[in-house]
C-alpha cells in the first residue's frame, strides 16, 4: 500500500487496511498494488485506489490491465472501501458486484 504522503507498506492485513482507510483526510489517497507488478512504464498494471473527497465520501477505483481497463465508483461508506481492498489483495473479483462502476479508461488511453 502506498499513501499520498509517500509512505509504503508491504505487508497488509484487514486491520491495517481499515486503520489506513478510516484515517484518510480529504484529498488523501491510498493505492494497493501487487509487489510483482510490471515497471511503471508498462501500461498493463493492476491496482486499486481510493481518494477521500472533500465532501467526505470515497472515490474508489481499480485498474485491471491497460489504460482502457480503469474503473471508478463512489461510496460514502469506509467499510465498502475496506472490503474492496481486502478482497482485491486476495485476488478476488466478487467485490466489484457491490458497486456500479463507470469506465474511465478514456481518460488515460491516448492512443
By C-alpha distance, which of 48, 97, 94, 44 is closest to 72?
Answer: 48
Question: What pTM, to 2 d.p., does this model score?
Answer: 0.83
CA angle 85, 88, 94 (to 5 degrees): 110
Q: Report how far residue 22's alpha carbon sits from residue 43's, in angstroms, rounded to the nearest whole number.
A: 30
By three-state DSSP, how is residue 3 classified? Answer: strand
Q: Report how far residue 98's alpha carbon sits from residue 84's, in angstroms, rounded to the nearest whole number.
A: 9
| Percent of the chain's residues with pLDDT above 70 | 87
Q: State pLDDT tens for residues 60-92.
A: 999 888 888 899 999 999 999 999 999 988 888
Helix H segments across the chain?
A: 14-22, 78-89
Amino acid at each position: 500500500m502506498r499513501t499520498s504522503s509517500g509512505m509504503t507498506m508491504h505487508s497488509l492485513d484487514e486491520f491495517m487496511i481499515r486503520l489506513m482507510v478510516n484515517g484518510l483526510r480529504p484529498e488523501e489517497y491510498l493505492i494497493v498494488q501487487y509487489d510483482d507488478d510490471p515497471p511503471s512504464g508498462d501500461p498493463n498494471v493492476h491496482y486499486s485506489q481510493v481518494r477521500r473527497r472533500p465532501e467526505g465520501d470515497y472515490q474508489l477505483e481499480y485498474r485491471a490491465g491497460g489504460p482502457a481497463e480503469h474503473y471508478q465508483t463512489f461510496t460514502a461508506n469506509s467499510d465498502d472501501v475496506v472490503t474492496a481492498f481486502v478482497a482485491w489483495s486476495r485476488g478476488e473479483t466478487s467485490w466489484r458486484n457491490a458497486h456500479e462502476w463507470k469506465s474511465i479508461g478514456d481518460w488515460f488511453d491516448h492512443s
